[in-house]
Structure 1
């Protein structure tokens, strides 16, 4: 995003240039959607509440020349972090912009990432609170950490009523709580899956925009994925070699691989006990034509012949890795652009050899919109403290020290200045002593070294205590800073990566909040913007 030439060698910023955008749309428009895939999409959308806009987009997608803007996310509880909504809105706004620029129909599509088995990453939602850290609402599944089953097959179970009750207890008094909590209670039922509940809520929020949904674990789609898995197995050595060379080039340029690769890996997972069973990564075994099932409790292996036989008979036993998923996506869909977060964009920096091997053009890779919600509580704190929203990113003690020094009539020297002055004076005197005693026995030089270390440690402890005392002189200010940071930079991370939607939807209305996000999205930007509902 900064335009660093080193980065652009691996991932060109084509999305910034109208001519490159037009080329990407034209390339995508030359590919057609298979009737089988379209039929599966129609069936998937039929499980959602009716939406004329979604019906129009389905009809458009069946026509030659229509392209897609795709985004996706793991199906987190109650939609997971806020950036899920920002991703969906970014795809919608990007599709509109590309259609307007090129005159070609362009539809937004959300890829429900249901193949992964990382249940602890998605089984909870965090709700901001006024007087404490965020409330963690979770499913409470006892086997979450050990589960290797794709989350597509994870039913919400008996923990969901308790999670919903916790939300209602915390948020029930907010102005729009009844509307949003009723939507969550309709979608999140014990017998429902995480994916179905997630799609029902997100599709309701974006019904007027016609956002489409694709679930790669749909049994009707498994035969369409088989050729991608077959190629990844049969050409594993060649693909792995190309990706490894790319990884070395990234490292030489000062970047790291987002996904670490093992030599000869086919980039996929296999479920030996059936489609709804545990999945294991395939890695080459010492014996030719044999693959280890990494993490299998019995250290099981499988041969290439067995894999290809299962792929023919029951392709739903196979799931993609993070690097293979984009290729599956663009094999199935006429993808003009993919909208992703920082981690996903980093995947694409590795993927050029894989796209070249498959003969697919890489789509535009566009950063999603980023937002920081500044509600009336945060606004009041900012005004009271005399701070800007960016100040919330400052470490707490440093921010408190700055406020204490600014708000008291006495002038207190900053802790770092005091430490520098004390250390400088001591080091100068100790150096002079060392020069005068250089001819003394060796033990004296060691004593000087020990003294240097001891005094430096003592000064650091003293100055740290000074800083803490200075920072904590005003307990009210301290509490205000902590509340402000809990709103805008919770747990030291961007708000959009921690807080879930329920608080904001219950406070401002789910429809009103998503409309504000849509209105604030700037196509092809990716910059951070503030929302002030």
Structure 2
């Protein structure tokens, strides 16, 4: 196994906000707390320890551990995971958290990268701060209701789609969705992957997760545990009344004082002022109301509260009573979920993708207003997995690693120019033409200025002509070098499906079929979260 790395900026697949953050540019520093390096984690430990203790830390730890133990009752957990759950009661234990949707059979490959990042960071912190304990935690997004995003996975260029029968739970939180209809996906999946030893393991995981559990939350917990239990991963479903009860004061502030709107809006405008694209626009109330088959936002009009597009309403007094009696019915949206997470967890660091970090950057002032410690933000590991054969192809084609990440037409044009036996760069001719026209401009100035526009038009026409000839010559050379061009395109299509990053498209099963039980250890050995690099791994 061999690993090479690029900066995130060199890949051309990450936003300027993410790359500027990783470069620690001054204009981004106002949007986050401490930058992710080992020394800063010492400061974060002290800050979180003080803040968490002063906000009922012992009670929160007790509720968290009790909830986890109940959720793990029917799970074949490892000693490492169970020990980590017990450790969470101690005020010297902290979590390193990543979160993800309940994608079918883990969804895109980066599901694994997120969790590996958390596991490896927890291990790094234990080496640096041995007097403390660090627990890698996966926060399941059970309250999400966007089923379309999670209802499929890709394998061998095919889409395996789950089409569940309509039920009274359709439209509500995805964690509560019955696993009905997944027998059909299992049959198609089984036929696709064959009968090798690795295929049999994949079938067993799928069958036990989705055909032997009643809902999507339980199925996902089973699968994530099977993949990462030996590393001590702890999996949390925070859609629990005891945990939500800890959140009641902030729920009331959000509903009755619009806790988040003004501060998030201010920080959103500040991001836009710096030229960055905003991930989420805040609403006046950033909470959903949930019941069976329903997760819909709450709105306020003239002192009364309503569930959007439904005939459910309350006075303030009635709503306060519902909150006290049924806190589980109130679900934070994408902007309030981080605050809920950091309120109930002794968490030091949130690990997420570029899009996730973008909305965390909108929240620092909200955390300050709520008096909750803002976590260190760490971009999850990203990687391109390739075979040794694919890497040998790249080297034979004389493509550098940064070039591999160019858009297909850019790479092919560059390579054709490089390997062609004639010069297909008309830059010098264009420069010469521009100089000639400068003399004509000077002549027109001295004689008749009305000719300036005519001279300009002729210059543009001739430069366009050179561009046209250059493109025709390049096209002709592509035909002449068709074999070389075809091999370049073929390699890129293999490594960048649908012209995007592999990790956002492929499912882990595609690689497990080939590498089996060696896959996850290889990722654990290769992906170093604090290196802050994009890795190219030859398996």
TM normalised by structure 1 equals 0.84
Unaligned runs of 5+ in 2: 1-21
> How far did 1:488 drift?
2.6
Q: Give the equivalent residue in structure 2 for 1:518.
A: 524
> How far did 1:40 drift?
1.3
Query: Could you say if the C-alpha distance between residues 439 and 9 of structure 1 is closer, same or farther in structure 2, counting changes exceeding 3 Å?
Result: closer
> How far did 1:489 drift?
2.5
Query: Of 86, 100, 112, which aligns to 2:113?
Result: 86
Unaligned runs of 5+ in 1: none
SS across alignment from 1:188: helix
Assess if the C-alpha contact under 8 Å between 2:282 and 2:335 holds in 1: no
1:151 aligns with 2:174: yes
Query: Could you say if the C-alpha distance between residues 151 and 382 of structure 1 is closer, same or farther in structure 2, counting changes exceeding 3 Å?
Result: same
Deviations 1:357-411 (A, max 9, x none): 2211112222222222122342243133222333221121222223333344x31
Q: Give the equivalent residue in structure 1 for 2:287.
A: 268
1:223 aligns with 2:245: yes
The whole-number CA distance in structure 1 between the counterparts of 2:432 and 2:211 is 64
> How far did 1:221 drift?
3.6
1:282 aligns with 2:298: yes
Assess if the C-alpha contact under 8 Å between 2:404 and 2:492 holds in 1: yes
> How far did 1:299 drift?
8.3
Q: Give the equivalent residue in structure 1 for 2:41.
A: 21
Assess if the C-alpha contact under 8 Å between 1:280 and 1:293 holds in 2: yes
Query: Could you say if the C-alpha distance between residues 174 and 355 of structure 1 is closer, same or farther in structure 2, counting changes exceeding 3 Å?
Result: same
Query: Could you say if the C-alpha distance between residues 58 and 475 of structure 1 is closer, same or farther in structure 2, counting changes exceeding 3 Å?
Result: same
The whole-number CA distance in structure 2 between the counterparts of 1:302 and 1:371 is 49
> How far did 1:179 drift?
1.9
> How far did 1:346 drift?
2.0
> How far did 1:505 drift?
1.3
Larger mean Cα displacement after TM superposition, 184-193 or 112-121 = 184-193
> How far did 1:191 drift?
5.8
Matches within 5 A, 1:68-79: 68-79=95-106
Assess if the C-alpha contact under 8 Å between 2:350 and 2:377 holds in 1: yes
- Aligned-residue Cα RMSD (Å) equals 3.3
Matches within 5 A, 1:121-270: 121-127=149-155, 129=156, 134-141=157-164, 148-158=171-181, 160-172=182-194, 176-189=198-211, 192-219=214-241, 221-236=243-258, 238-262=259-283, 265-270=284-289
Assess if the C-alpha contact under 8 Å between 2:109 and 2:503 holds in 1: yes
Query: Could you say if the C-alpha distance between residues 456 and 108 of structure 1 is closer, same or farther in structure 2, counting changes exceeding 3 Å?
Result: same
Assess if the C-alpha contact under 8 Å between 2:288 and 2:297 holds in 1: yes
Assess if the C-alpha contact under 8 Å between 1:126 and 1:135 holds in 2: yes
1:368 aligns with 2:380: yes
Deviations 1:218-256 (A, max 9, x none): 4554434433322321221x5322222222322333334
Query: Could you say if the C-alpha distance between residues 421 and 515 of structure 1 is closer, same or farther in structure 2, counting changes exceeding 3 Å?
Result: same
The whole-number CA distance in structure 1 between the counterparts of 2:459 and 2:306 is 55
1:97 aligns with 2:124: yes
Deviations 1:434-487 (A, max 9, x none): 8788659xxx97x99998888887776665554444334444333332332233
Query: Of 330, 339, 350, which aligns to 1:318?
Result: 330
The whole-number CA distance in structure 2 between the counterparts of 1:188 and 1:173 is 19
Query: Could you say if the C-alpha distance between residues 471 and 532 of structure 1 is closer, same or farther in structure 2, counting changes exceeding 3 Å?
Result: same
> How far did 1:137 drift?
1.8
Q: Give the equivalent residue in structure 2 for 1:356.
A: 368
The whole-number CA distance in structure 2 between the counterparts of 1:303 and 1:469 is 74
Query: Could you say if the C-alpha distance between residues 398 and 65 of structure 1 is closer, same or farther in structure 2, counting changes exceeding 3 Å?
Result: closer
1:108 aligns with 2:114: no
Matches within 5 A, 1:38-77: 38-77=65-104
Q: Give the equivalent residue in structure 2 for 1:9.
A: 30
The whole-number CA distance in structure 1 between the counterparts of 2:432 and 2:215 is 62
Deviations 1:120-148 (A, max 9, x none): 21111122x4xxxx32222135889x964
Assess if the C-alpha contact under 8 Å between 2:424 and 2:470 holds in 1: no
Assess if the C-alpha contact under 8 Å between 2:97 and 2:349 holds in 1: yes
> How far did 1:325 drift?
0.8
Larger mean Cα displacement after TM superposition, 224-233 or 457-466 = 457-466
Query: Could you say if the C-alpha distance between residues 199 and 455 of structure 1 is closer, same or farther in structure 2, counting changes exceeding 3 Å?
Result: farther
> How far did 1:8 drift?
1.5
Matches within 5 A, 1:354-433: 354-408=366-420, 410-414=421-425, 417=427
Q: Give the equivalent residue in structure 1 for 2:19.
A: none
Assess if the C-alpha contact under 8 Å between 1:336 and 1:363 holds in 2: yes
Query: Could you say if the C-alpha distance between residues 479 and 305 of structure 1 is closer, same or farther in structure 2, counting changes exceeding 3 Å?
Result: farther
The whole-number CA distance in structure 2 between the counterparts of 1:321 and 1:519 is 35
Deviations 1:261-316 (A, max 9, x none): 23xx2221113xx2x2222223443x2x234544x2x6876544443332223222
The whole-number CA distance in structure 1 between the counterparts of 2:216 and 2:476 is 48
> How far did 1:15 drift?
2.2
> How far did 1:110 drift?
0.5
The whole-number CA distance in structure 1 between the counterparts of 2:195 and 2:465 is 52
Query: Could you say if the C-alpha distance between residues 168 and 370 of structure 1 is closer, same or farther in structure 2, counting changes exceeding 3 Å?
Result: same
- What is the aligned residue count? 508
The whole-number CA distance in structure 2 between the counterparts of 1:339 and 1:63 is 23
TM normalised by structure 2 equals 0.83
